[in-house]
C-alpha cells in the first residue's frame, strides 16, 4: 500500500482554516491596538493629566513606598491565611447545624440561622470595630490584645456567615436520592453527611468559596481601622506624608498580584468540574 | 460576531468621548496684582469665601462640631483671615472636606482649608500652604494608672505601645523621635485613638499639644500629659492653610496671616482658645 497522502480537498481545507485563523488573529490584534491607543490618548490628552500623572504615577514615590507597603502586606497575608482556615471550619459547622431537623436540636438550628442573618447583614467594618474596640473594652481576662488577632476574629465572624450559606447551598444541591440511598444502607444522619453529602457538596462549592476568599483578601485591609499597620495603611501614611497618591497604587498592585492567581485557580477548577461532568 | 469589536470600539470612543471638562484656568494662575480686595479675588463662589474643614471638627480647634460658630481656635483664625480679606461673617461659607480630599488633584471644594495641616516641604509640592498660623508641639498622653505614668523621658517610652492618628505628623514624631521597638498603632480618627487609650489597648498616645489638653480634660478620665516634645529636630512645625497648587489666593492669604500676626491678633486668639495649652514639661 502506498503511503497515505492528504487529499487535495483536505489540503485546501487546512489552508482555508489557517488563513481564517490568521485573519481573525490579525483583526483581534488590530482592534486591541486601536482600543488601547484610543483609551491612552483619551486619558493623556485630558487637561488634568499632568497633575494626575504627578499625583498617581510618580515613580519615585512608588519606589519609596514599596518596601513599607510590602512589609505591611505580610500582615495581610497572615490575617488572610489564618482566618481562611477558621472560616472554612465555622462555615461548614454552621451550614450543618442549619440542616439539623431533629426537634430537640431546634435551639442550635435557630442559633445558626440567627448567626448567618446577623453577620451577613452587618457591614464588615462595623464587626471589626465592635470586636476591635468592644471586646478589649470589656477588660476581661484572656481576651487577646493583639489587634491582628482581633481582626482575624472579626473577619472570621463576618465571612463565616457567607461561607456557611455557600456550604448550605452546596449541601442542598445534593439530590435527595443520595440521602435516601445512604439512609437505606443503614448510615446514620451524621455518617450520611460525612461520607455522602458533604464530599459532593464541597466539590460543587469550591468556585464560589474561592470567590469569597478573593474578597476576603481585599477585606483584610479593613483591619487597619483598629490599629495594625497593614499594606493599605502603610500606603495611606506615605500618601498623607507626601500628599501623593502613588503609594495607593503600589498597594493596589500588590493586592492584584495576589488575587489574580486565585482567580485563575477558580477558573481552572470550574473548568475541571465542567469537564468531569462531561459537558 | 462582528458585534463585539464594534462594541469595544464604542467603549473606547465613549472613554475618549468623555469630553474634558475644561475649566479655562487650569494652567498656572495668573500672577495677580497684589491688590487683595474682595472683588478681585478669584473665588469658588463669587462674593463668598468658602472654607473647608473635616467633619467631625474636634475641640479645641472647633466647638460643638460647628465650624461656622466662630468658636474654637481654627474657626476663630479662619474668620479672622476672612475679615482681613474683607469678608464679614455672613460672606463666609463652610464646606466639609475630608483630610485626604484637601490634597486630591482636581477641582477643590474650598478657597482655603483649615484642618491642622502641618506644613512640610514634600506636601508643599502638591498644594500651596499659607504662612504658618500656629506652631505646634507634640505631646504624650498616658493613663495615670498605666505603667508609663512615671516616665520622665522619651527614652523610657521605647517599649511602650503607642497610638497615633493617621495623617498626623504625630506618627512621624513617634517614628523619628521616640523610635519605639514596636510599630505604633495607627487609627482613622482621633476618637479611635482616644478609645484605644481608654481600653488600655495602647500604653500611650501621641497627639498635638492642644489636643492633648482636650483629651486629658474632657475625653479620657485619669489620663495625663507626660510632656511635650518637638517632632522635628530644627525648624518648628507649623500649621498652615491649604490652598490649591498655584492658587491665586495665596499671596492675599499670606498677607492676611502676616497682618494678624503683627497686630497680635493671632496671639490673642491662641490665648483665648488654646491658652491652657502652655505649661507641659519638655520631654527629651
Inter-chain CB proximity A245 and B188 less than 8 Å: no
- What 8-state DSSP symbol labels residue B247? -
CB-defined contacts A:B, below 8 A: 110
pLDDT score recorded for residue B228 = 86
**Closest C-alpha among A117, A61, B175 to residue A53:** A61
Check CB contact of A237 with chain B, cutoff 8 Å: yes
Does residue B277 sit in helix, strand or coil? coil
Inter-chain CB proximity B199 and A240 less than 8 Å: no
**Closest C-alpha among A26, A82, A71, A86 to residue A234:** A71
Distance, C-alpha B116 to centroid of its chain: 2
User: What is d(CA B164, CA B170) in angstroms, rounded to the nearest whole number?
Assistant: 6
Check CB contact of B155 with chain A, cutoff 8 Å: no
- The residues pairing with B128 across neighbouring beta strands, listed in sequence order, are B243
- A151 burial type by CB count under 10 A (0-12 exposed, 13-18 middle, 19+ buried): buried
pLDDT score recorded for residue A241 = 83
User: What is d(CA A110, CA A252) in angstroms, rounded to the nearest whole number?
Assistant: 40
Close Cβ partners of B5 (under 8 Å, ≥ 6 residues apart): A27, A31
| Cβ proximity of B139 and B216 under 8 Å | no
| Cβ proximity of A98 and A168 under 8 Å | yes
- The residues pairing with B187 across neighbouring beta strands, listed in sequence order, are B165
Taken as a whole, chain A contains a residue count of: 279
DSSP β-ladder status, B204-208 and B138-143: antiparallel
pLDDT score recorded for residue B276 = 62
Distance from CA of A158 to the nearest CA of B (A): 21
pLDDT score recorded for residue B232 = 66
| Cβ proximity of A216 and A84 under 8 Å | yes
**Closest C-alpha among A92, B14, A154 to residue B6:** B14
Inter-chain CB proximity A241 and B104 less than 8 Å: no
The residues in A 216-235 lying below 8 A from B, measured between CB atoms, are 224-229, 233
- pLDDT means over runs of 10, chain B (284 residues): 54 52 45 63 84 86 88 91 88 88 83 90 88 89 87 86 88 86 88 89 90 87 86 77 88 90 88 74 75
pLDDT score recorded for residue B23 = 47
pLDDT score recorded for residue A26 = 93
Q: Which residue has the cell 488573529?
A: A25
- What 8-state DSSP symbol labels residue A106? H
Inter-chain CB proximity B192 and A226 less than 8 Å: yes
Distance from CA of B267 to the nearest CA of A (A): 28
Task: Point out the residue among B126, B166, B199 whose CB comes nearest to the CB of A55.
Answer: B126
pLDDT 10s digits, B99-143: 888 888 777 889 999 998 989 888 888 889 999 999 888 899 998
pLDDT score recorded for residue B32 = 44
pLDDT in tens, chain A (279 residues): 678 888 999 999 999 999 999 999 999 999 999 999 999 999 888 888 888 888 888 888 889 889 999 999 999 999 999 999 999 999 999 999 998 888 889 999 999 999 999 999 999 999 999 999 888 888 788 788 788 899 999 999 999 999 999 999 999 999 999 999 999 999 998 899 999 999 999 888 988 898 899 899 989 999 999 888 899 989 988 888 888 889 999 999 999 988 888 888 888 888 887 888 776
Helix pair A59-99, A231-242: axis angle to 10 deg:
150
Check CB contact of A143 with chain B, cutoff 8 Å: no
Check CB contact of B146 with chain A, cutoff 8 Å: no
Inter-chain CB proximity A243 and B122 less than 8 Å: yes
Distance from CA of B153 to the nearest CA of A (A): 25
The residues in B 13-72 lying below 8 A from A, measured between CB atoms, are 13, 15-18, 20, 22-23, 26
User: What is d(CA A243, CA A42) in angstroms, rounded to the nearest whole number?
Assistant: 26
pLDDT score recorded for residue B6 = 55
Q: What is the pTM of this model?
A: 0.75
Q: Which ipTM did the prediction report?
A: 0.70
Query: Which residue of A45, A52, A243 is the best one to mutate when testing the B interface, meaning the one whose CB has the most B CBs within 10 A?
Result: A243
A140: nearest CA in chain B? B199
Query: Which residue of B17, B161, B166, B186 is the best one to mutate when testing the A interface, meaning the one whose CB has the most A CBs within 10 A?
Result: B186
Distance from CA of A20 to the nearest CA of B (A): 14
Task: Point out the residue among A51, A228, A237 whose CB comes nearest to the CB of B166.
Answer: A237
The grid coordinates of residue B218 equal: 474632657
User: What is d(CA A51, CA A58) in angstroms, rounded to the nearest whole number?
Assistant: 10
Inter-chain CB proximity B100 and A237 less than 8 Å: no
What H or E segment, with its residue span, contains residue B49? strand B49-53
- B38 burial type by CB count under 10 A (0-12 exposed, 13-18 middle, 19+ buried): middle
In chain B, which residues have their Cβ closer than 8 Å to the Cβ of A147? 185, 201
Distance from CA of A90 to the nearest CA of B (A): 28
Check CB contact of B201 with chain A, cutoff 8 Å: yes
Amino acid at each position: 500500500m502506498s503511503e497515505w497522502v492528504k487529499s487535495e480537498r483536505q489540503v485546501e481545507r487546512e489552508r482555508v482554516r489557517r488563513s481564517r485563523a490568521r485573519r481573525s488573529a490579525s483583526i483581534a490584534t488590530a482592534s486591541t491596538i486601536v482600543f488601547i491607543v484610543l483609551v491612552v490618548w483619551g486619558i493623556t490628552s485630558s487637561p488634568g493629566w499632568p497633575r494626575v500623572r504627578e499625583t498617581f504615577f510618580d515613580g519615585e514615590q512608588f519606589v519609596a513606598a514599596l518596601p513599607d507597603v510590602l512589609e505591611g502586606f505580610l500582615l495581610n497575608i497572615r490575617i488572610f491565611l489564618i482566618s481562611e482556615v477558621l472560616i472554612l471550619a465555622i462555615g461548614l459547622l454552621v451550614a450543618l447545624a442549619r440542616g439539623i431537623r431533629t426537634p430537640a436540636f431546634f435551639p442550635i438550628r435557630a442559633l445558626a440561622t440567627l448567626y448567618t442573618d446577623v453577620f451577613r447583614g452587618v457591614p464588615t467594618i462595623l464587626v471589626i470595630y465592635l470586636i476591635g474596640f468592644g471586646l478589649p473594652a470589656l477588660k476581661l481576662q484572656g481576651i487577646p490584645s493583639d489587634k491582628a488577632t482581633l481582626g482575624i476574629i472579626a473577619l472570621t465572624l463576618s465571612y463565616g456567615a457567607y461561607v456557611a450559606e455557600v456550604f448550605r447551598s452546596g449541601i442542598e444541591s445534593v439530590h435527595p436520592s443520595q440521602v435516601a440511598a445512604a439512609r437505606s444502607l443503614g448510615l446514620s444522619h451524621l455518617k450520611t453527611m460525612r461520607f455522602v453529602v458533604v464530599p459532593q457538596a464541597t466539590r460543587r462549592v469550591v468556585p464560589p468559596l474561592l470567590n469569597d476568599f478573593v474578597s476576603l483578601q481585599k477585606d483584610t485591609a479593613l483591619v487597619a481601622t483598629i490599629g495594625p499597620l497593614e499594606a493599605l495603611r502603610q500606603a495611606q501614611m506615605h500618601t498623607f506624608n507626601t500628599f501623593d497618591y502613588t503609594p495607593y497604587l503600589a498597594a493596589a498592585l500588590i493586592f492584584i498580584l495576589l488575587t489574580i492567581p486565585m482567580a485563575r485557580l477558580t477558573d481552572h477548577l470550574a473548568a475541571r468540574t465542567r469537564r468531569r461532568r462531561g459537558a | 460576531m462582528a458585534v463585539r469589536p464594534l462594541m469595544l470600539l464604542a467603549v473606547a470612543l465613549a472613554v475618549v468621548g468623555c469630553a474634558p471638562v475644561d475649566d479655562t484656568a487650569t494652567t498656572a494662575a495668573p500672577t495677580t496684582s497684589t491688590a487683595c480686595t474682595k472683588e478681585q479675588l478669584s473665588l469658588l463662589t463669587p462674593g463668598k469665601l468658602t472654607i473647608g474643614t473635616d467633619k467631625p471638627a474636634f475641640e479645641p480647634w472647633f466647638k460643638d462640631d460647628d465650624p461656622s460658630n466662630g468658636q474654637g481656635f481654627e474657626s476663630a483664625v479662619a474668620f479672622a483671615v476672612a475679615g482681613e480679606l474683607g469678608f464679614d461673617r455672613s460672606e463666609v461659607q463652610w464646606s466639609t472636606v475630608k483630610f485626604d480630599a484637601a490634597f486630591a488633584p482636581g477641582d477643590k471644594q474650598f478657597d482655603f482649608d483649615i484642618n491642622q495641616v502641618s506644613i512640610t516641604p514634600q506636601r508643599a509640592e502638591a498644594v500651596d500652604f499659607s504662612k504658618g498660623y500656629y506652631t505646634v508641639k507634640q505631646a504624650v498622653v498616658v493613663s495615670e494608672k498605666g505603667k508609663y505614668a512615671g516616665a520622665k523621658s522619651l527614652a523610657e517610652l521605647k517599649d511602650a505601645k503607642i497610638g497615633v492618628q493617621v495623617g498626623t505628623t504625630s506618627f512621624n514624631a513617634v517614628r523619628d523621635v521616640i523610635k519605639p521597638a514596636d510599630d505604633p498603632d495607627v487609627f482613622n480618627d482621633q476618637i479611635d485613638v482616644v478609645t484605644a487609650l481608654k481600653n488600655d489597648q495602647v500604653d500611650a498616645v501621641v497627639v498635638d499639644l492642644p489636643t492633648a489638653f482636650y483629651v486629658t480634660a474632657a475625653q479620657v478620665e485619669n489620663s495625663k500629659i507626660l510632656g511635650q516634645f518637638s517632632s522635628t529636630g530644627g525648624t518648628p512645625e507649623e500649621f498652615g492653610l491649604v490652598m490649591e497648587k498655584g492658587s491665586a489666593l495665596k499671596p492675599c492669604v499670606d498677607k492676611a496671616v502676616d497682618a494678624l500676626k503683627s497686630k497680635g491678633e493671632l496671639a490673642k486668639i491662641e490665648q483665648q482658645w488654646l491658652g491652657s495649652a502652655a505649661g507641659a514639661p519638655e520631654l527629651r
